[in-house]
Amino acid sequence: MNNNKSSISKARDYDEIGEFWDIHELADHWDETRPAEFEVDIQSELIYYAVDNELSDKIQASARRRGISPDTLVNLWLQEKLQEQSS
């Protein structure tokens, strides 16, 4: 953080800003705010693994029955399996 103070909290660093907002409500300072424009570019990192076609069909069917995406189902199953192995 540069030498400027935070406009509302008058804090000089991120810790002070956090401490200020831990005990204050934005609603109490709403009239001191101003609109801000910014762009957010959130990109998840994806890693692909090869899956046998027949296995993929079964995963898709199982996911469809549960009402979730195949990606979500595979991630849930992998998380469960890894938790079993770490226990």
- Give me the pLDDT at residue 63, please: 96
- Give me the pLDDT at residue 40, please: 86
- Between CA 24 and CA 87 the distance in angstroms is 42
Helix, strand, coil content of the chain in percent (nearest 5): 55, 0, 45
pLDDT at 30 exceeding the cut of 60: yes
CB contact at 8 A, 12 and 1 = yes
pLDDT at 4 exceeding the cut of 70: no
- Give domain limits for the chain: 1-38, 53-86
- Between CA 76 and CA 70 the distance in angstroms is 10
User: How many Å is the Cα radius of gyration of the chain?
Assistant: 23
Query: Alpha-carbon torsion 61, 64, 65, 71, what sign?
Result: positive
Q: Give tens-digit pLDDT for 31-82.
A: 998 898 989 888 878 889 999 999 999 999 999 999 999 999 999 999 999 9
